[in-house]
């Protein structure tokens, strides 16, 4: 009787763990507000069809969003608190932030490649 109870508890634990992993994976799917279509935006918790349309219309009129404050300022019905909740739900501003970081990383290897390796001077002698 005790073994049955233990195995039942173990099964419940693994079921709960599996549910948490599945829910956690869905919550961390990042949706870039500057490239997402209406269907992708509505997949973020807290964004309905009307809000998604407002986000896309404003983005098409005035260009990509710089950050969360820019989104809150430009889209009617979305305030700073709403933007914070949307970011927790997976909304990101990745396209604007990723471009400068890529350019900076591309420039670093070029500088390192210009310097000769330490052993090259000894091998030339």
Q: Is residue 27's pLDDT more than 70?
A: no
pLDDT score recorded for residue 29: 73
Task: Tell me what pLDDT residue 56 has.
Answer: 95
Residue spans of the domains in the chain: they are: 23-98
pLDDT greater than 70 at residue 17: no
**CATH code linked to domain 23-98:** 1.10.150.280
Question: Does pLDDT of 99 surpass 60?
Answer: no
19 — pLDDT class (breaks 50, 70, 90): low
**Token reading at 88:** 């927790």
Instruction: Give the residue ranges of DSSP H helices in the chain.
Output: 2-27, 38-42, 49-62, 68-74, 80-88, 94-114, 120-124
């Amino acid at each position: 009787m005790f073994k049955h109870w233990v195995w039942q508890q173990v099964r419940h634990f693994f079921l709960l763990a599996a549910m948490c992993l599945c829910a956690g994976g869905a919550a961390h799917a990042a949706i870039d507000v500057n490239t997402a279509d209406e269907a992708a935006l509505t997949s973020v918790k807290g964004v309905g069809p009307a809000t998604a349309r407002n986000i896309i219309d404003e983005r098409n009129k005035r260009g990509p969003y710089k950050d969360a404050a820019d989104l809150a300022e430009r889209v009617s019905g979305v305030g700073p608190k709403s933007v914070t909740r949307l970011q927790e739900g997976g909304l990101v501003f990745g396209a604007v932030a990723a471009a400068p970081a890529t350019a900076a990383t591309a420039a670093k290897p070029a500088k390192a490649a210009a310097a000769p390796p330490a052993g090259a001077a000894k091998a030339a002698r």
